[in-house]
Amino acid sequence: MKLEQQVAIVTGGGRGIGKQIAVSLAVEGAKVALASPDEDELVETAAQIVDSGGQAIAIVTDITEESQVSAMVRQVHERFGKVDILVNNSGIAGPTAPVADVERSDWDQVMAVNLTGAMLCAKAVIPDLIANRFGKIVNISSIAGRIGYALRSPYAVSKWGLIGLSMALAKELAEYNVQVNAICPGPVEGPRMDRVLEDRARELDQTLEEVKEDYLNQMALHRLTRPEDVADLVLHLVSKSGDNITGQAIDVSAGWGL
């Protein structure tokens, strides 16, 4: 197993990409802590991992609150003794609207979850990684963090910020043998993407089929990304195969923009 005896925290680990990442890490032997505000989803995913012979715990956590993040990491220590891997996957889609119509409260919420929460989680585990002179942090950004994404400014800005955070952390932690990278998925198939497309169709006064076709036409492979595609890259980065990869933002986007 690639991750035997390692301990991973996956935020937003109860569904979608996060669930797939958590399951994939557990299959390779990692002990996994799942963190998000949704208890039911976390418990279900943790039970799935345990039923398959792995080790997992569910910790209800609002990652925008530093005290809750610190408490979550303490629980991981109490159960598993350390932290080796952090996958900052938690995120919200935010509004679909031109900047002129974006409410300040919506902007602040997206930044708090998508960017500040990732920083707080990294801050909380860094002492472990430095002490062990070993560790991996993977931040799930987005292809939206590389492009001008009209009507999705809060989301895009937060994902651009995650790339910057990843590069800064990679430099800060390199002397301690800690690798930090960002993954930039393209549109990922699933309920969240369905809602994004529906909101965009309403905002543009287009049909859902027109909006879907526009997205697919921007990808060389003309297909959406699967959660498994993202999880496979996470596994590569956090295993020994990724020991010499740091400070990178890697697209998994079916060739968006080629």
Nearest Cα residue to 96 out of 17, 195, 187:
195
Same domain, residue pair 204 and 236: no
What average pLDDT score do residues 15-26 get? 96
**C-beta neighbour count of 101 within 10 angstroms:** 11
pLDDT in tens, 212-227: 999 999 999 999 999 9
* From 149, 155, 176, 215, active-site residue: 155
138 and 197 co-located in one domain = no
Report d(CA 218, CA 222) in Å as an integer.
7
Number of DSSP helices (H) and strands (E) in the chain, helices first: 9, 7
**pLDDT tens, position by position, 129-144:** 999 999 999 999 999 9
Give the domain CATH number at 143: 3.40.50.720
* 155 assigned to active site: yes
In a domain, 248, yes or no: yes
Structural Rg of the chain based on CA atoms? 18
Residues in the chain: 258
For residue 214, the enclosing domain spans 189-224
- As a whole number of angstroms, the distance between CA 160 and CA 184 comes to 10
**What are 152's strand-pairing partners?**
97
Residue 62 maps to a domain: yes
Q: How far apart are CA 106 and CA 171, in angstroms?
A: 32
pLDDT recorded at residue 90 = 96
